[in-house]
A and B are shown apart, each in its own frame.
Chain A
Amino acid sequence: MELAHLTIHEVHGKLSRREISARELTESALARIAAVEERVHAFITLDREGALAQAAAADRLLAAGETNPLCGIPLAIKDVLCTRGLRTTCGSKILENFLPPYDAAVIEKLKAAGAVILGKASMDEFAMGSSNENCAYGAPHNPWQLDAVCGGSSGGSAAAVAADECIAALGSDTGGSIRQPASHCGVVGIKPTYGRVSRYGLLAYASSLDQIGPLTKDVRDAALMLNAISGHDQRDSTSVNVPVPDYSAALVEGLAGLKVGIPREYFGAGLDPEVAGAVRGTIRLLAEAGAEIVEVSLPHTEYGVAAYYIIAPAEASSNLARYDGVRFGYRDLAAETLHDMYRQSRSQGFGPEVKRRIIIGTYALSSGYYDAYYKKASQVRTLIVEDFTKALAQCDALISPVAPTPAWRLGEKTADPLSMYLSDALTIPTNLAGLPGISVPCGLSSAGLPIGVQLQAAPFAEEKLLRLAFNLEQRLGLVGRKPALA
């Protein structure tokens, strides 16, 4: 087995015993990229030389006794995170030549730990999408079936992990953008509690919903990545000053004393029978591991998508006003007036889905429509938050599918934005309520595509999610199962 196929905790042992060097590990990942990237298209930008230089630096740290589990680990970084001097496009033409002058807070932390950044992973433009097809640089292909979507918007991160083009990855999740691609690509993905991880240096889509998190090959790696990126940061005013536990200490066997709720609304019409069957199977495993299972209700679940598609575009219309062709990004140099410069630069630089959401958001915030749309959606958001508060008073975590179906074919839903939006119905409410959520692989469809199970918990209860996910993973025995992609 090649080194790039291993997990963080597996290679960390080898690195710290000096059985392998960080350079060999990064070379293994780069060799894997060279072998499969033409088919997978997980990256927008690769930084081979930078990665090898970082690996050499990691080897010096390891020789000096560095014990950080991320030292020397080759990672893929979603192209929504600023990396100093390394092109950051956000999947958009408008940032085709953007070289950030600073690192995002999470990148600072990863670099300080000695991690190696292989490159920038593909994503839907400005993180707007559920299939990664809204990317100005082409869509990644699902490593399990190359004609299927990877999910989105962190599709490149999920694909890179699933295809062993990296050891682990970072993504971001505004309405499911970590969990849904993790589910579709058969990897673990965790969206932390809103405020757990600093958003400083994350290119903003919908600031009240966005959160950065890891995509990994197993639950232990998710805990290690979360240890590395969590924590308070004064540069993000929504960052919460809650102590960061050692998340890997949460990975204990057995679930005695934990109560898991089944939200009945998450098993409604439109749920693929194979997905329902796989998730029901995991519920039995939780019970076998000692968890108590109860049924709960989240009565406003069906309103989540509608509320989200007002709130998120409203925030986006404001956040994306900064792309005006003045300080960074694309400018139409032929424009003769300031207004024409704004309009032409933005119209030529943004893709259709981004324009669609900016227009929806501007409309929802405009005079005369604010109460009918934005205020109404924000009130429904309160109802959704209250649903979770009540349900999570009765149990420690909620179990459900991540997505109603396995991955679909590339091109299948691109003509109908609304049908694409509805595919996020089971992940959006988590963001509206700011909760942590995790996606864990739980089976394969008869067509050979991965199916994931979602766990959600109260704010800052990531340890419960990790413990549940770890026990599921142990009992499912799916770790190490790889796509046939040779």
Chain B
Amino acid sequence: MKITAEEVIYVANLARLNLAPEEVGPTTEQLGRILAYVEKLDALNTDGVAPATHALAVTNAFRDDEVRPSLPQQEALANGPQVNGEAFVVPRVI
């Protein structure tokens, strides 16, 4: 599988990233080299091998469902690039 410029643009869009026209070529070339290297994994037979999603066997960690203080509204808003005193402001959606 060789990644194409169209795929790079498509995936960048999925990730909400813009690539300038002059970035597409070099990015495609670099990703192609990285993915070609990663394809060395295909040399291994992994039939029947369970995928590891965690390094250690962890089970669900539960805690009591008790009410605890959370971030005050003004502190939560303090890092917002655009706020109106009680909410984050974003460009019109609908």
Pairwise interchain contact B71-A434, C-beta atoms closer than 8 A = no
Distance to closest chain B CB from A317 (angstroms): 6
| Contact in complex: B49, A383 (CB < 8 Å) | yes
Q: How far is the CB of B68 from chain A (nearest CB, A)?
A: 10
- A383 touches which of B8, B30, B46 (Cβ 8 Å): B46
Question: Cβ of A333: which chain B residues have Cβ within 8 Å of it?
Answer: 81-82
Q: Is A344 engaged at the interface, CB distance under 8 Å to the other chain?
A: yes
Q: How far is the CA of A378 from the CA of B56 in the complex (A)?
A: 13
For this complex, 28 residue pairs linking A to B, each with C-beta atoms less than 8 Å apart, are A101-B79, A194-B56, A208-B53, A238-B54, A309-B34, A309-B37, A310-B38, A310-B41, A326-B81, A326-B88, A330-B81, A338-B90, A338-B92, A341-B91, A343-B16, A343-B17, A346-B15, A347-B19, A356-B31, A359-B15, A359-B17, A359-B27, A359-B31, A377-B38, A378-B52, A381-B52, A418-B33, A434-B54
In the assembled complex, how far is the CB of residue A385 from the closest CB belonging to chain B, in whole angstroms? Answer: 6
User: In the complex, what distance in Å separates the CA atom of A286 from the CA atom of B18?
Assistant: 53
Q: Quick check: B44 and A300 within 8 Å, CB to CB?
A: yes
What chain B residues lie within 8 Å of A372 (beta carbons)? 1
A342: B residues at CB distance < 8 A: 16
Instruction: Give the contact-size bracket for chain A.
Output: 35 or more
| A289 contacts the other chain (CB 8 A) | no
User: Once the chains bind, are A317 and B15 in contact (CB under 8 Å)?
Assistant: yes
**Which residues of A line the B interface, CB within 8 A?**
97-99, 101-102, 193-195, 208-209, 234, 237-240, 300, 302-303, 305-307, 309-310, 317, 321, 324-331, 333, 335-344, 346-347, 350, 355-356, 358-360, 362-363, 366, 369, 372-373, 375-383, 385, 417-418, 421, 431-435, 459
CB < 8 Å neighbour of B63 from A234, A335, A356, A362: A234
Task: Given A366-B11, A379-B52, output 20 extra A-B contacts at Cβ < 8 Å.
Answer: A97-B79, A101-B76, A208-B53, A238-B61, A326-B88, A328-B81, A338-B91, A342-B16, A347-B17, A359-B31, A373-B38, A375-B51, A377-B38, A378-B52, A382-B49, A383-B46, A418-B34, A432-B55, A434-B55, A435-B55
A residues in contact with B58, CB < 8 Å: 195, 238, 240
Residues on the A chain within 8 Å of B71, using CB: 101-102
- B44: which A residues are within 8 A, CB to CB? 300, 303, 380, 383
Residue B67 at the chain A interface, CB threshold 8 Å: no
Q: Find out whether the CB atom of B41 lies under 8 angstroms from the CB atom of A377.
A: yes
CB nearest to B56 among chain A residues: A434
The answer to whether A307 touches B82 (Cβ under 8 A) is no
Q: A300-B44, A329-B79 are in contact. Are A359 and B12 (CB under 8 A)?
A: yes
For the complex, what is the distance from the CA of A445 to the CA of B73, rounded to whole Å? 55
Question: Complex Cα distance A171/B40, Å?
Answer: 31
Chain B contacts of A338 at CB under 8 A?
Answer: 90-93
Chain A residues closer than 8 Å to B1, beta-carbon distance: 369, 372
Which residues of chain A have C-beta atoms less than 8 A from B34's C-beta? 309, 360, 417-418, 421
Q: Is B25 an interface residue (CB 8 A)?
A: no
A324 to B17, CA, bound (A): 10
CA distance A272 to B18 in the complex (A): 40
A208 to chain B, nearest CB (A): 6
What's the minimum C-beta distance from B8 to chain A, rounded to whole angstroms? 7
For residue A347, which residues in chain B have a CB less than 8 angstroms away from its CB?
A: 17-19
Interfacial chain A residues near B51, Cβ < 8 Å: 375, 378-379, 381-382
A333 to B93, CA, bound (A): 15
